[in-house]
Amino acid sequence: MFIYSIIVATLTSLLFLTQSLKKEAMDVFIEAPELIVQRMSAGRHDLIPVGYAEKILSIPGVSSVEPRYWGYYYDNLTGGNYTLIARNIDALHMVKGTLPKGPGECAIGKGVADVRLTDLNDVLFLSINPQQKVSLKVVGIFTADSAILTNDLVVMDKNDLVNFFALPKDMATDLIVHVSNASEVPTIAMKIRRDYPDTRPITRSEIVRTYENVFNWRGGMALTMFIGPLLAFAIFAWDKATGMSAGERQEIGILKAIGWETTDVLKLKFWEGMAISLTSFLTGSILAYIHVFYFGAALFAPVLKGWSVLFPPFNPIPYIDLYQIFVIFFLTVIPYLASTIIPSWKAAVTDPDTVMRS
């Protein structure tokens, strides 16, 4: 039962964690723009001319087009990568302070504040080279609740970011396209690709599908690491269930001799196996729930989240897929019951005298 429970807990922990991450990602992407337009050069993401926005805006169904300015910055002091973005959104929760209102100000994520030992009204200094450097006053720090989005984020004024990265004045990182009717997004994306062959329109549904595939792939990779223990458990369970001891065979022979029918013996063995299976399954599921939702899935979180210097605080949202729980139940409980009943049936249909003598 101990081994049985640990195996179930391992499988269910991976299931709970994967589903929780997917659920949290989907909740985040609800507010994502319907369409993001990137320019491609040599197969890689490149800066896009701001002038593209005018023709895209003229496409029927497009309500607005906004250039977006952002980039990545490697901090030599902490060894972490920060995401720098020009302020263009207000729907971000702060623990204290405000979003930057002009040049020389910034708002930072809690992870950045922690590693740089920075608080409100302190100065954040960033430097790429002697010509590309900026000194910003911290006017806001994002809350831990928004850490999945903002932990490594630095929000600053557009002019500060453009000067820091030395971006051309007529170029942006990408374009955000807002569409009036969500059902028209694929058609508008096709028209943008037709008018600007060097662009790559990315729809919100494609982003969601990509993250689902990433989590499923990482979950599968984590599960692959446990194939050996799973096979060992299967062999162990089969050996324990099919290798009836002489005492167990004698017990069945005595029951048959005192009047028990074969069906009675099978019922007894069925309920014995069911008690062991259900107890182990429920114990393993409870351990998995505690491990994932109370201890942050400490064993598996780095595998599924990926690697980063600035890990955000991780508090998985409880989310359980009953269908997948049923699949795990079917794959663990049913085979064990079958491997318990079959040898019992063989012993039960044998002559009691022969069973007891053997």
Q: How far apart are CA 256 and CA 350, in angstroms?
A: 9
Token pair listed for 137: 């006053």
Model pTM greater than 0.85?
no
- Closest C-alpha among 167, 165, 147, 176 to residue 37: 176
pLDDT of residue 146: 61
Q: How far apart are CA 158 and CA 103, in angstroms?
A: 8
pLDDT of residue 160: 93
pLDDT in tens, 143-167: 766 666 778 889 999 999 999 999 9
Q: How far apart are CA 278 and CA 240, in angstroms?
A: 17
- Closest C-alpha among 319, 284, 318 to residue 12: 284
Report the SS3 class of residue 139.
strand
Q: State yes or no: pLDDT of 76 exceeds 90.
A: no
pLDDT in tens, 28-46: 777 778 899 999 988 889 9
Give yes or no for a contact between 84 and 164, defined as CB atoms under 8 angstroms apart: yes
The residue behind tokens 């595998």 is 303
- CA 164 → CA 69, 133, 318, distances in Å? 11, 6, 41
Q: State yes or no: pLDDT of 171 exceeds 90.
A: yes
- Closest C-alpha among 218, 188, 216, 225 to residue 203: 188
pLDDT of residue 264: 82
pLDDT in tens, 329-339: 887 788 777 77
Q: State yes or no: pLDDT of 118 exceeds 60.
A: yes
135: part of which helix (H) or strand (E)? Answer: strand 133-142
Average pLDDT, rounded, for the chain: 81
Q: Rounded mean pLDDT of 43-61? A: 91
Q: 10 Å Cβ neighbour count for 1?
A: 12
Q: What is the DSSP letter of 110?
A: H
pLDDT in tens, 216-250: 776 676 667 667 767 777 777 666 656 666 676 67
| pLDDT band at residue 106 using 50, 70 and 90 as cut-offs | very high
The residue behind tokens 């393993």 is 284
Q: How far apart are CA 302 and CA 307, in angstroms?
A: 7
- CA 3 → CA 6, 203, 230, 276, 334, distances in Å? 5, 46, 10, 12, 17
Q: 10 Å Cβ neighbour count for 34?
A: 20
Q: State yes or no: pLDDT of 277 exceeds 70.
A: yes
Give yes or no for a contact between 152 and 81, defined as CB atoms under 8 angstroms apart: yes
Token pair listed for 347: 């012993």
- Show the domains of the chain with their CATH numbers: 2-26+214-357 (no CATH), 76-158 (2.40.40)
